[in-house]
Copies of this chain bind each other. A is one copy, B any other.
């Protein structure tokens, strides 16, 4: 099979790194044949950092329709993901979309529908944390039943420190019109995905408490505490912020066979000798609890990260290997973050699946009042109308 001709659209922080990965020849079976960015000044970056043979495009739609690429990696601002993906699927291209899948689940649902129709197209999402052996092992321990029935999830992910200077670096950052959200859509998509991917569970309802511009001069959420309930009775707490240092990244999962904690790049497993319900049924001693073993579980393999996801996508296209992160799964993490925002905006429970038109209306209201121009901004993107994102 010929090499897959890949175009990268959007060469900001992430897209430029992906373009260099592809340009370096690090991805077997792929060749970088185009980069595209609406900002003309990125043409010189391209000439400096990539092979001279890689053409630079200004217009993403033209590139997608050009016939010069088989596959496209979308690393544009979030609002453009879904529209460009749909266009690419219509052209029969393969698509790898950066996280988050999009800003609203209604957008992303249309993207997924287009992907489903484009039968030959391979659709993946850049959930590179799915290549992290710690979370692969956690998923294994949960889904094989070693941890038993899940009872509680608790993720404190507060080590996303971002200064005002970070937010001021681009006018679209941390605005409703530019990014469509804050720490939930920019920093946390990986954790929100892992929350559902490792456990295989989505909540039935969510109550969340987002605070907007609490620590920084920004419009969007920079501090979140969310509570979720699951069909099987399990509960979850998800806590995140960009305002704390040094912050914490600690994911605790409790099941009726014990608990697992991932913190400081280590997985710790406390295993009950017998399931808790079995102990409870037979025990007659008043005080007392199930025998518990602290187990050293081997965590092997290498985190292949972004190149791993790109290589897997190419291998799926060429050799039909299973995708690590199928693109249509991107809607799940986004459902969680949208529900957290909606719960805050409505100051109440959000049952899943939630009313997408209500979310879109609430967001649109904030987009209309969005002020995306910050003091030290160096970008020039106009505020978006999310209703027009498919027109």
Q: Classify the interface of chain A: helix, strand, loop or mixed.
A: mixed
* A288 and B245 alpha carbons, distance in the complex (Å): 10
Closest to A257 in B: B245
A148-168 interface with B by 8 A CB criterion: 151-152, 154, 156, 158, 161-166
Contact B165 A285, beta carbon cutoff 8 Å? yes
Of the stretches A30-38, A232-240, A354-362, the one at the interface is A232-240
A225-B227, A239-B237 given; A289·B246 CB < 8 A: yes
**A254 partner residues in chain B, CB cutoff 8 A:** 158, 244
Contact A276 B207, beta carbon cutoff 8 Å? no
* A285 and B165 alpha carbons, distance in the complex (Å): 6
Contact B248 A259, beta carbon cutoff 8 Å? yes
A154-B239, A225-B227, A237-B237 given; A245·B290 CB < 8 A: yes
Asked whether any CB of chain B lies closer than 8 Å to the CB of A280, the reply is yes
* A284 and B375 alpha carbons, distance in the complex (Å): 13
Residue from the list B237, B261, B289 in contact with A245, Cβ < 8 A: B289
Residue from the list B207, B215, B283 in contact with A209, Cβ < 8 A: B207
**A161 partner residues in chain B, CB cutoff 8 A:** 289-290
**A287 partner residues in chain B, CB cutoff 8 A:** 162, 166
A181-227 interface with B by 8 A CB criterion: 207, 209, 211, 214-216, 223, 225, 227
* A283 and B165 alpha carbons, distance in the complex (Å): 7
Task: With A163-B283, A207-B207 given, name 16 new contacts (CB 8 A).
Answer: A151-B243, A154-B239, A163-B288, A163-B289, A164-B280, A165-B283, A165-B285, A166-B287, A169-B286, A211-B235, A215-B280, A225-B227, A225-B237, A243-B276, A246-B270, A247-B259
A163-B288, A245-B272 given; A156·B252 CB < 8 A: yes
* A154 and B244 alpha carbons, distance in the complex (Å): 14
- Measured CB to CB, the closest approach of chain B to A286, in angstroms, equals 5
- Measured CB to CB, the closest approach of chain B to A167, in angstroms, equals 9
**A215 partner residues in chain B, CB cutoff 8 A:** 280
- Measured CB to CB, the closest approach of chain B to A90, in angstroms, equals 37
**A216 partner residues in chain B, CB cutoff 8 A:** 280
**A229 partner residues in chain B, CB cutoff 8 A:** 209
